[in-house]
Structure 1
Amino acid sequence: MTTKHDFNSKVARAVFITLLIASAFALLILQPNFLLLVFAGIFFAVLLNYSASWFHKKIKLSYGLSLLLVIVLMFSIATALILLIGPSVGDQISKVIEIFPQSIEHLKETIKQTEIGRKFVDELPQNPADLLIGKSSSKIYTQVLGSFATTVGVLSNVFIIFVIGVFLAANPSLYRNGLLKLFSSTFQPRLAEVLDKAHETLSLWMFAKLISMTAVAILTTIGLLALGMPMPFALAVIAALFVFIPTIGPFIGLVPAVLIGLMQGTDMALYVLILYLSIQVIETYIITPMVEKRIVSLPPALTLLWLILFGILTGIFGMILATPLLATIIVFIDQLYVKDYLGNKT
């Protein structure tokens, strides 16, 4: 029998979920960069907290020293990578950017070898980017990329994310308990469980993606070197970075490699296409299921629509954070609405 207290608890949880989703969408529409910066900071804090907690348990350091050790290790690894492979990868990425327009023109010339191809190319705008960003290209381009369109914007936002992450990770219980105090004492234990579940989901998702990205980078580098493709390290880095965006990311990372391969010949472009598709199959059906088996399952169609929405509203930065944000929202909906409010425990 449902008591009045149980009914009130269900109503409170339903109201909480509704307000949470409504507030998130309001911020997403009105101040998308602010919302994404906050979530990116939380995301980074989860990474720091998870890593520091691991060192705290394994080598018995205090949490504060463990957090400091994690930050020092991150900076050391980043500095080592920049010094060891940064110049080479940077030069190759510059060459990729420089050669990309030439590869598009080469693709046009290849297509124009047929009558249908000539008609198709003649209908294209002089600037291929107009297909994506229309006549008001500079205006829309700026809106899509937001403050991340310039180097200064990137550095300032990275700094903000770093500061938010460090402050949150330095004393997570302070912010967690502060959030819990906004709700009734009867609801606090359950909300604490859900917050822990969301924290675990984000942590596992992040490390799973890092493993997938590393595997894709290694496999792509080996494959491109074996094929004799130019700029293999830069193309491998691009492919690995786009793994962070599920469903459509790998296909975006495929484009520059195939276009540059086409400049080496149609056979090379075909080999590169086969290589990337093979790696995508390995990543999707072998690596990802192994490393993400404990993570909340995301429906592919919902994930794709969510990525498109964030791409339209916030650009590439939003697409990078769209999936972990969706995973977090699904945890809250599943735990508080489906299981608690609807009573569906399956």
Structure 2
Amino acid sequence: MLNVYLYAKRVAIAALIVLSVLTAFYLLGWHAYFFLLIFASILLAVLYCGMADWITDKLHLKRGLSLLLAVLLFFGVIFVAFWLIAPTVGQQVKEMRQTVPQAVSQVQHWLTQFGWGEKLMQQVPNDMSEVVPKQDALLSKVSGMFSSTLSFLADFAIVIISALFLAANPSLYTVGLSKLFPVRHRVHIREVLDKSYTTLKSWLVGMLSAMAIIGVSLAIGYNLIGLPLAFALALIGFFLAFIPNVGPLIAGVPAVLVGLTVSPQMALYAFLLYGGIQLVESYLITPLIFQKTVDLPPALLLFFQVLLGILQGGLGLLLAAPILAVLMVVVNELYVKGLLEASPVNAAEEEVE
């Protein structure tokens, strides 16, 4: 009789979990951007807390002072890096606006040498006036771009301020969230939240380390082969490395196009250099960095990136990896260990309590 009761209980819990997941996806589909902003705030708060914990451990300061130093250090590093490289990168970005279209024109000329390429080029309008919008449409696009910029700045400010509130007193929110569950489960919920925090912190450390290695390697490599706009291209590779699977593919295209403006041989060198660095990063550096931190299944990560990319575009693609890391912790702790692998004896004892 007890086994039948436990079986019915597990079925009910499993149905509740499935219903919760479906509800979450429904809410994500309609209000995805809001939830992604919340997660972005949590991710930044984890970074603040991780830096504050490190400062507290090394300097033995109070947490409030450590958090203040962590925030100042974070924005200070960004400001100093921007001050040092902005003039060079800014000039190279201006040059890239002219260089990349030239490279595209060369690719179009090369394609016309083939039958299928010529047919493809016939689909491109020769009269560029068809491509350039009329004055009314242009004003509308400029207005929309201005509105989008203001919206981005507002969202950015919300993320930064929310992250500061979360990092200032994280226990206030974790304890408050655990109170939404029955008393007997609250300790376990807080343990899951602690593991989620540790997972996100480890993922951030590993990802930032990999990004730094890729950015520095690309800057050195591009300069060694004499590729123009080396620092701007390396900066693109650095930022896009934050997006696993998809980001590295996108970052390699500008390097090859810029190489084409010099010669096909330079484009080949850029392609081989970038591909070699990505291979070393994917099969040597990243496994070593994430060996003791977070190991995300590549195929599952790619599917999840596609899902969030379809639901919310670039922001979903950007945050897909850390969200998946947290989901794996939650599913493993609450569903696999808490339900599927729970022994009948422990389940009965829990029910008695």
Say whether the fold is shared (TM-score over 0.5). yes
Q: What is the match of residue 339 of structure 1?
A: 337
| Aligned match of 1:314 | 312
Q: How much has 1:296 moved relative to structure 2?
A: 3.7
- Measured against aligned partners, the alpha-carbon deviations of 1:102-154 in whole angstroms (never above 9, x if no partner) come to 32222111121223322233245679xxxxxxxxxx9xx99xxx999833233
Residue identity in the other structure for 1:294? K
- State the Cα distance separating 1:313 from its structure 2 match: 2.1
Q: CA deviation at 1:177?
A: 0.3
Q: Indicate how the Cα distance of structure 1 residues 264 and 196 shifts in structure 2: closer, same or farther if over 3 A, else same.
A: same
Tell me the distance in 2 between the aligned counterparts of 1:171 and 1:6.
Answer: 39
In the superposition, the TM-score normalised over structure 2's length comes to 0.85
Structure 1 residue 19 displacement after superposition: 5.4
Please name the residue that 1:118 is paired with: 118
Partner Cα separation in structure 2 for residue 173 and residue 148 of structure 1:
39
Q: 1:172 to 1:335 in 2, by over 3 A?
A: same
Counterpart residue number, 1:251? 249
Q: Distance in 1 between matches of 2:278 and 2:34?
A: 33
Amino acid at match of 1:238: I
- Contact 2:48–2:70 (Cα < 8 Å) also in 1: yes
Matched residues in 1 for 2:96 and 2:308: separation? 27
Aligned mates of 2:6, 2:296 — CA distance in 1: 30
Deviations 1:173-230 (A, max 9, x none): 0000000111111111111111111111111111111001100000000111011111
Corresponding residue for 2:64?
A: 64
Q: Does 1:224 align with 2:222?
A: yes
Match of 2:270 among 255, 272, 284: 272
TM-score (norm 1): 0.87
Bigger radius of gyration, 1 or 2?
A: 2
Query: Larger deviation: 289-298 or 205-214?
Result: 289-298
Higher RCO (CA 8 Å, separation ≥ 6 residues): 1
Q: 1:149 to 1:251 in 2, by over 3 A?
A: farther
- Amino acid of the residue matched to residue 336 of structure 1? L
Partners of 2:163 and 2:7 in 1: CA distance: 37
Distance 1:75 1:93 in 2: 23
Secondary structure of 2:296's counterpart equals coil
Inter-partner Cα distance in structure 2 for 1:328 and 1:126:
50
TM-aligned CA distance change 1:249 to 1:234, over 3 Å: same
Matched, 1:191 2:189: yes
Number of corresponding residues: 332
2:178 touches 2:190 (CA, 8 Å); kept in 1? Answer: yes
> CA separation of 1:189/1:99 partners in 2, compared to 1, >3 Å: closer, same or farther?
same
Structure 1 position 13, deviation (Å): 5.9
CA 1:12–1:302 in 2, change beyond 3 Å: closer, same or farther?
Answer: same
The DSSP-based 3-state class of the residue aligned with 1:31 is helix
99-108 vs 247-256, which deviates more? 99-108
- SS at 1:313's partner residue? helix
- What is the Cα deviation at residue 8 of structure 1? 9.0
Is residue 203–residue 290 contact of structure 2 (8 Å, CA) maintained in 1? yes
Taking only the aligned residue pairs, the percentage that are identical comes to 40
After superposing the two structures, state which structure 1 stretch, 238-247 or 100-109, moved more.
Answer: 100-109
- CA apart distance, 1:285: 1.1
Q: Which amino acid in 1 is paired with 2:75?
A: F
Q: In the aligned structure 2, how far is the partner of 1:20 from the partner of 1:200?
A: 24
- 2:97 and 2:264 map into 1 onto residues whose CA distance is 21
Q: Secondary structure at the match of 1:160?
A: helix
Shift of 1:9: 7.9
Residue pair 2:100, 2:258 contacting (<8 A) in 1 also? yes
Moved more, 167-176 or 238-247: 238-247
1:96 corresponds to which residue?
96
